[in-house]
Structure 1
Amino acid sequence: MKWKQRQANPLSEELIEQFHLTDLQAKLFALRGNDTADKLDFWLNANEYNLADPYLMHDMQKAIDRINQAIDHNERITIYGDYDADGITATAIMVETLEILGADVHFFIPDRFKDGYGPSMQRYQEIVADGTNLIITVDNGVTGVKEVQYAKSKGVDTIITDHHTFQAEKPDAAYAIVHCNYPGQAYPFDDYCGAGVAYTIARALMDDPMSDMLDLAMIGTIGDMVKVNDEGHIIVKRGLEILNNTQRPGLRALIKNAGLTLGNITATDVGFAIAPRLNAVGRLDHASLAVELLLSDDEQQSQKIADQIEELNNRRKELTQLVYEKCLSMIKSNGWQHRKTLVLVDDNFHEGVLGLVANKIVEATRKPTIVLTKGEDGNLKGSGRSIEGYNLFDALEPLNGSILTQFGGHDLACGLSLDINKLGELRERFESDYHVETNLKVKEYDFELSLNKLTPETIKEMNLVGPFGTANVEPIFSITDPIISHFTKIGKDKNHVRFTTKIKAGSVQTIGFNKAYLSENLLPYIHQLFVTLSLNQWNKKTSVQAMIKGINFQSPKLVVPAPVIDLRNEKYIMGFADRYLLFDKENYSLARDGLGINEERLTLVDEYNNNGEVAVLLDTPHNQLQLNTALEKDYQQLYLRFLLNKLPISQIPSKDSFGRTLKYIYSHPQLTPQDYRQVAPFLSLSYDSVLFILRVFFELKFVKYEEGKIVPVSNPQKQPLTGSKYYQSVSSQIEFTNKLKTMPFNQLLNYINSFK
């Protein structure tokens, strides 16, 4: 990843004086384009009274007239919602508004496991049969072409309120479509979430700003990660103010259980503590429970429901970790560490956490990942997540209708279903399609941070430029040439780091989540930290802490730079080398796609003829001759990594393992090599180890291959395992690789110096 500093013309002195801005605020506002009096006045002073006329939104007048007609004639109205935080809050807004108006209103939330996402024909049929006269969708509906047509055929009108992208065919049978991004509409803001659209309808129905609904609209906005600039800024800013003084028993109970304090709740708290709890209900139970919480006006009932939600959220965390660990074990046992993509399947995986697990697997492996389980209909269903540079939607959308029975998503995430018999095809197509855009992603930061005047007041200054989120990004600052001390690894699994960062006269406590790769050895190579700032409350003391968002490395500035640097025990790839050298061309795609190294910096050792560069020996040579070839080159500085290898196995299986496998072959003839993927755990071996053993057996003629099946040879000639040339070759490579990785540095350095 490349980091680039944002650039903008500074605010005029007149604007700074007019709006009483500090230097920090003036810089941040300028870098976000708030550089005129009108823009600054809107940002600092606009509220719900400044929102656009709700009737500018497409079909709003038609929708309001039909809703009022239903209320006047006491028609049964059903709100058809969704099971995520946005759909839950949107449902609550619509139900509460209609109840205020005296409507006969009911709500329905789909079941994630039975109904899936969006309109369900069966549920529409049940709602119509139940006597509903008017269906109002919230946070869904644009895909319900057949469902809406069915309702109309039965004399039931449907008003669709949604914000999702239209597909090729619109639900034209709908009585009205209220959509914030309908083509050609007049409403000036196009990125409301479902709760934002529902709130806009509430404003129109009540002819009032409906301030008391802003807390719910804000939670939906942050939960769905839509824009928080323009009108989104008003929703979030005012919504947070309302939330911090909320009288809703349900929200107060939820906030209490989350360990938050009314009056101090931030957008970050909503994104990481409140919205996930609402989402957890739909992941593990029925999300109608969360709607009941938001609509409840009884404190005891609210606390009871909030306690149930807290249990579900804790269970969600436990399940996510259990499935995640099972997936990591599955990757190892099946020998999938060297695959470019992962498709992980288990009938016992909980469907509600598959997306969360896929995301964790991508973070851990940097491989696009799909996690699937078996649904009630016997088909596979699940979620996928990707990495920057690989568009998951573009890769899988062509498979919809052939391999996939259902599919939807965007560039980094998707949901999908398929027949279990198509699993092999999905794996093959996913793997063969994989490619990464090689241009390094550019991420922007604001400016260099001064630490000598960093106080909690600095955070208050910065927050005037917030709330932050999509389209109003949180400020990121650089800290150049930091002095790092008190380094320690923290967390249950020691996956995070904490240290003190100092420059000149100031210092700040620094936290790095999922930075377990950092070690004392790497600290001298840190040239720039890119951080966000927040407040830390500990022992009744408030201090500023920095959260790492990125790191730039460079070679330490030493008086006499060391010509050879030993980083064999480090797993992280630093990005300042001129050249990354590979011994094995099969590691090229893994280095480029798996490690994110720009292909312009990758070169095979045999093809490298440059002089005076900083170079890295990235993978492991197969033998002494290959290593000698690399050491004969002329480098300014050489880093020893030996991070990758193409060994079929990491260690030779024991003699007992060979014996167990041969015994199994004799007692289970006619299995294919692929069948041994399932057999491997039973033999207490990885699949790679079983394949190695089988190849040795083939060479020694202990088994043979007939019509795609592995069968034992009758009365084979007795000979030692070392009689296999393949056994000897791999054993030799493993021995050389292990020696190269574990040899004392002084000994290795002496050997390297012999080539100078």
Structure 2
Amino acid sequence: MRQKYRWTISEADERAAAGLAAAIGVPPLVGRLLVARGLTEPEAARSFLSAGPEQFHDPFLMKGMAAAAARIRRAIDEGEHIRVYGDYDADGVTSTALMTRLLRKLGARFDTYIPHRSREGYGLNVGAIDLAAEAGVQLLITVDNGISAVDQIAYAKERGIDVVVTDHHEAPPTLPDAAVALVNPKQPDCTYPFKGLSGAGVAFKLAHALLGEPDLSLADLAAIGIVADLMPLTGENRAIVKLGLAEMNRRPSPGVKALSAVCGAEPGRLSSGRIAFGLAPRLNAGGRLAEADGAVRLLVAEDDEEAERLALSLDQLNQERQQLVDDTLLEAEAAWQWRVAANGGMPLPVIVLAGEGWNAGIAGLVASKLVERYYRPTVILAHDPETGKCKGSARSIDGFDLYAALRECADEMEHFGGHQAAAGMTIRMDRVPSLETKLAALAEAWLSPEDWTPKKKADLLCEASELTLEAAEQLTALEPYGNGNPTPRLVLREAAVADAKSMGKEGKHLRALLAQSGRRIEAVGFGFGEEAGRLGGSGTVDVLGELAINEWNGSRRVQFMLQDWRPASLPVLDRRQERDWVEAVRALADAAPLFVLSASGQAIARLEKAAVGTSGAALYAEGEQFASRKAEQAEETPPYARGSGGARLALVGLPDGAEALDGLRLALQGCAPLEEIHLFVEDSRSAAEDAARFALPTREQFGEVYAMFRRQSNWIDAPDGFLRQVADRTGWPLAAVRMMQEIFDELGFLKMNRSSVQVVANPPRRPLDESERYRKAQRRAEAAALAEMSFPNLQAWLRQLANA
């Protein structure tokens, strides 16, 4: 199993955590989590946990808010025709719905307009402005768009339409100065304290400004927009979402109630997770595949029957969207694999794909899935051959600012907008290769080797005894969870796997029992079904995941929701009993890249004859060669092409001598990190035969033999006869006695020539391991002893060697 993520584990100050928990009256586990997330002061922690209206900032601190509110009030007072110009994603439709509710309250004369995703694309366009002018619109209020629409707003002014922009996207260098007001906390010189609002969040602040106080009946729509647009659930956003959830659970609007029902959400128990994975995809489905107006009508519906009908329609569109995403993903993956093959098998640092017939409305979803699978910045474009243009979306990885990168490539595109993690663009098909080249160069320049492996930050290192139902209930104090305030991730180290089984349809999921210090906890891993065998055979493991409560038939129990795992120590698998070891090695090579090492040239020859080397295995007969090639590959392969996880090694036979042992030691240390070792044996030679080939005398036995030399005269003639006498008296093989003589010679205790040996009188004292010959004999003896070593000891020896 390849560990999917790089883990970083926060180190909470235990004393500070205990003090904080006591000061604000929360359980110790909650105190530890607050400290781990940087909330060390009681006031900050209380503010985070309470998250109420007192955290709302004065809306007029936002640059442009006073001018926007004044122009809208004038339009209402004078009965002007106002048009709310929205966007087709969930944040855009909730922004539009929020403005609809607001303007109804204020008695305005208004209507709404949302551009069609595939026909018009994102943001203001000239055609829509012409329609507004023809309809007699005098004031256009953009929500969740407009900050980049310099030319379009200038055109609207020419047509006699004033424009108030409310947006939250990154501000470009040139702003639309033809607008009567720009409301965006990210624009230059805006001193508003919180910059993380979504489009619906900015609309909520506009409502606050126009009404003179925050209207919590609008917080439900703002909350949906904030969560759906993956805005950070910190600061003002956290307060809006917490209050909005309370509003939805106490007094849900007909639209929210109907949408929750088709998602299967239990009444009164809507959460930020349900918004993200239930409500938001359905609100997005309309804009992706049809018109977004249906989602707006649902959210502002005042009749339950109408709301139910609109919710069912969105649910059906969402099902169609899911199938379309699956189909497009298959095509995109095939196109990507072709691109990799065309590049000599070397993956590129970015994925940029354009497909004819693809739907621009699902481009972002497909891009997200490719990022999840291949972890590199991804652009998916729908190509229209009639116009030669492409419209699409991009998604990024941590460390790569997508919006900044697109600004560097602005001359390649007709239009683009977005933020660090996601963006949309329009580009001509003939400029797509150039965009890919530029983005690839930026990715290589901006990202470090570590950035190419996804990471998960864990909040705490826990003991199994802490993972209780009570603890899971205590953690709800930190809700709502989402971007910027994720569900607490915990790491449990060195847990024994008591049971691991696949479950669910086609065995795609995993259920296991983890045990530590007498405490057991059930672990569930969605999508981990194939790992059941490896998890169960790994001995002790480290696991990363979240604590959850499983409710079924009135009972409640705690579960550990697995997100990643790794063996607590290097897995060494004993496969020496497999008769057809060549076929076993081939199966390993077919499954994933593999290194094969054997001190036996004959074993390597058998593998080469069986063409195992063409199945993804690299074969080595020398450890030095193996380690050297691994180092070369590390230099030759760019970090984005290496993948996560370490090397898999098949070791065929144990070292049978000093040189082979040196080679193995060099190989194991040179190819770190190792993911696992599979141990095979080339022939059926018994362990006793291996061990009997050589043993190393003890230091006392060396001393005994040296004393025999000393008892002779200074010169020993016919030394071979003397060596045989020593062998007979000690019981050591003649070869071993001859080796001891050579070691004494190397250390200066003896002087040897062809026909005699001189015993050196009073030589300086020197330890045996100063002799290279002795050290080589030690390694040779170590290699011989491996053959009779128990497998647990052999595992420990190989692990120690690999980690040295």
Question: TM-score, normalising length from structure 1?
Answer: 0.74
**What is the identity, as a one-letter code, of the residue corresponding to 2:521?**
V
**What is the identity, as a one-letter code, of the residue corresponding to 1:377?**
T
- 3-state SS of 2:120 partner: coil
Q: Offset of 1:317 from its aligned partner?
A: 0.8
Which of 459, 465, 483 is equivalent to 1:470?
A: 483
Measured in 2, the distance between the counterparts of 1:193 and 1:560 equals 55
Q: Offset of 1:282 from its aligned partner?
A: 1.1
Measured in 1, the distance between the counterparts of 2:567 and 2:401 equals 28
**What is the identity, as a one-letter code, of the residue corresponding to 2:392?**
G
Are positions 1:148 and 2:156 aligned together? no
Partner of 2:642: 595
Measured in 2, the distance between the counterparts of 1:353 and 1:749 equals 59
Task: Trace 1:643-662 onto structure 2 (pairs within 5 A).
Answer: none
Task: Indicate how the Cα distance of structure 1 residues 8 and 156 shifts in structure 2: closer, same or farther if over 3 A, else same.
Answer: farther
Measured in 1, the distance between the counterparts of 2:465 and 2:403 equals 46
Task: Trace 1:531-546 onto structure 2 (pairs within 5 A).
Answer: 531-546=545-560
Are positions 1:498 and 2:545 aligned together? no
Contact 1:218/1:239, CA 8 A, preserved across alignment? yes
Partner of 1:747: 682
Which of 532, 539, 548 is equivalent to 2:562?
A: 548
Partner of 2:664: 634
Q: Offset of 1:221 from its aligned partner?
A: 0.9
Contact 2:142/2:167, CA 8 A, preserved across alignment? yes
**What is the identity, as a one-letter code, of the residue corresponding to 2:243?**
R
**What is the identity, as a one-letter code, of the residue corresponding to 1:177?**
L
**What is the identity, as a one-letter code, of the residue corresponding to 2:364?**
G
Are positions 1:372 and 2:381 aligned together? yes
Are positions 1:382 and 2:392 aligned together? yes
Task: Indicate how the Cα distance of structure 1 residues 97 and 405 shifts in structure 2: closer, same or farther if over 3 A, else same.
Answer: closer
Contact 2:142/2:166, CA 8 A, preserved across alignment? yes
Which of 322, 347, 356 is equivalent to 1:339?
A: 347
Measured in 2, the distance between the counterparts of 1:369 and 1:33 equals 32
Contact 2:37/2:459, CA 8 A, preserved across alignment? no
Measured in 1, the distance between the counterparts of 2:61 and 2:19 equals 36
Contact 1:498/1:511, CA 8 A, preserved across alignment? yes
**What is the identity, as a one-letter code, of the residue corresponding to 1:228?**
L
How many residues are aligned here?
629
Unaligned runs of 5+ in 2: 1-5, 596-625, 652-658, 694-779, 784-804
Contact 1:140/1:163, CA 8 A, preserved across alignment? yes
Task: Indicate how the Cα distance of structure 1 residues 28 and 208 shifts in structure 2: closer, same or farther if over 3 A, else same.
Answer: same
Are positions 1:355 and 2:378 aligned together? no
Q: Deviations over 1:397-449 (max 9, x none)?
A: 444324x4334445544433333334444555555665351136765322222
Task: Indicate how the Cα distance of structure 1 residues 558 and 382 shifts in structure 2: closer, same or farther if over 3 A, else same.
Answer: closer
Measured in 2, the distance between the counterparts of 1:305 and 1:255 equals 12
Partner of 1:735: none
Measured in 2, the distance between the counterparts of 1:270 and 1:459 equals 21
Q: Deviations over 1:12-42 (max 9, x none)?
A: 7675345321111221222233333422332
Measured in 1, the distance between the counterparts of 2:527 and 2:641 equals 17
**What is the identity, as a one-letter code, of the residue corresponding to 1:121?**
V
Greater shift, 30-39 or 137-146, is seen at: 30-39
- 3-state SS of 1:128 partner: helix
Which of 445, 454, 465 is equivalent to 2:458?
A: 445
Measured in 1, the distance between the counterparts of 2:650 and 2:641 equals 13
Which of 295, 302, 308 is equivalent to 1:290?
A: 295
Higher percent of residues as helix: 2
Partner of 1:210: 215
Partner of 2:204: 199
RMSD: 4.0
**What is the identity, as a one-letter code, of the residue corresponding to 2:213?**
D
**What is the identity, as a one-letter code, of the residue corresponding to 1:592?**
P
Partner of 2:81: 76
Q: Offset of 1:259 from its aligned partner?
A: 0.4
Contact 1:580/1:618, CA 8 A, preserved across alignment? no
Q: Deviations over 1:266-290 (max 9, x none)?
A: 1111111111111121111111110
Q: Deviations over 1:658-708 (max 9, x none)?
A: xxxxxxxxxxxxxxxxxxxxxxxxxxxxxxxxxxxxxxxxxxxxxxxxxxx
Measured in 1, the distance between the counterparts of 2:517 and 2:357 equals 55
Task: Trace 1:66-465 onto structure 2 (pairs within 5 A).
Answer: 66-332=71-337, 335=341, 338-340=346-348, 341-375=350-384, 377-388=387-398, 392-393=402-403, 397-402=407-412, 404-426=413-435, 435=444, 436-439=447-450, 443-452=456-465, 454-465=467-478
Task: Indicate how the Cα distance of structure 1 residues 73 and 557 shifts in structure 2: closer, same or farther if over 3 A, else same.
Answer: closer
Task: Indicate how the Cα distance of structure 1 residues 112 and 470 shifts in structure 2: closer, same or farther if over 3 A, else same.
Answer: same
**What is the identity, as a one-letter code, of the residue corresponding to 2:480?**
P
Partner of 1:58: 63
Task: Indicate how the Cα distance of structure 1 residues 246 and 338 shifts in structure 2: closer, same or farther if over 3 A, else same.
Answer: farther
Task: Indicate how the Cα distance of structure 1 residues 619 and 143 shifts in structure 2: closer, same or farther if over 3 A, else same.
Answer: farther
Measured in 1, the distance between the counterparts of 2:84 and 2:106 equals 15
Task: Trace 1:518-533 onto structure 2 (pairs within 5 A).
Answer: 518-521=531-534, 524=538, 527-533=541-547
Q: Deviations over 1:311-363 (max 9, x none)?
A: 01111111111111223334456636643244433312222212211222233
Partner of 1:683: none
Task: Indicate how the Cα distance of structure 1 residues 338 and 642 shifts in structure 2: closer, same or farther if over 3 A, else same.
Answer: farther
Measured in 2, the distance between the counterparts of 1:540 and 1:491 equals 22
Partner of 1:669: none
Contact 2:94/2:222, CA 8 A, preserved across alignment? yes
Measured in 1, the distance between the counterparts of 2:679 and 2:145 equals 62
Contact 2:497/2:539, CA 8 A, preserved across alignment? no
Q: Deviations over 1:107-166 (max 9, x none)?
A: 111111112112212212211221111111111111111222222233322111111111
Q: Offset of 1:199 from its aligned partner?
A: 0.9
Measured in 1, the distance between the counterparts of 2:394 and 2:650 equals 30
Unaligned runs of 5+ in 1: 599-614, 621-628, 645-740
Question: TM-score, normalising length from structure 2?
Answer: 0.70
Measured in 2, the distance between the counterparts of 1:573 and 1:59 equals 61
- 3-state SS of 1:439 partner: helix
Contact 1:87/1:220, CA 8 A, preserved across alignment? yes
Q: Offset of 1:220 from its aligned partner?
A: 0.8
Contact 2:547/2:560, CA 8 A, preserved across alignment? yes
Contact 1:25/1:461, CA 8 A, preserved across alignment? yes
Measured in 2, the distance between the counterparts of 1:549 and 1:617 equals 22
Measured in 1, the distance between the counterparts of 2:679 and 2:569 equals 22
- 3-state SS of 1:58 partner: coil
Task: Indicate how the Cα distance of structure 1 residues 9 and 247 shifts in structure 2: closer, same or farther if over 3 A, else same.
Answer: same
Q: Offset of 1:491 from its aligned partner?
A: 5.6
Measured in 2, the distance between the counterparts of 1:491 and 1:184 equals 54
Measured in 1, the distance between the counterparts of 2:648 and 2:516 equals 33
Q: Over alpha carbons, which structure has the higher Rg? A: 2
Contact 2:573/2:679, CA 8 A, preserved across alignment? no
Task: Indicate how the Cα distance of structure 1 residues 263 and 558 shifts in structure 2: closer, same or farther if over 3 A, else same.
Answer: same
Measured in 1, the distance between the counterparts of 2:194 and 2:673 equals 50
Contact 1:617/1:639, CA 8 A, preserved across alignment? no
Partner of 1:647: none
Measured in 2, the distance between the counterparts of 1:195 and 1:186 equals 20
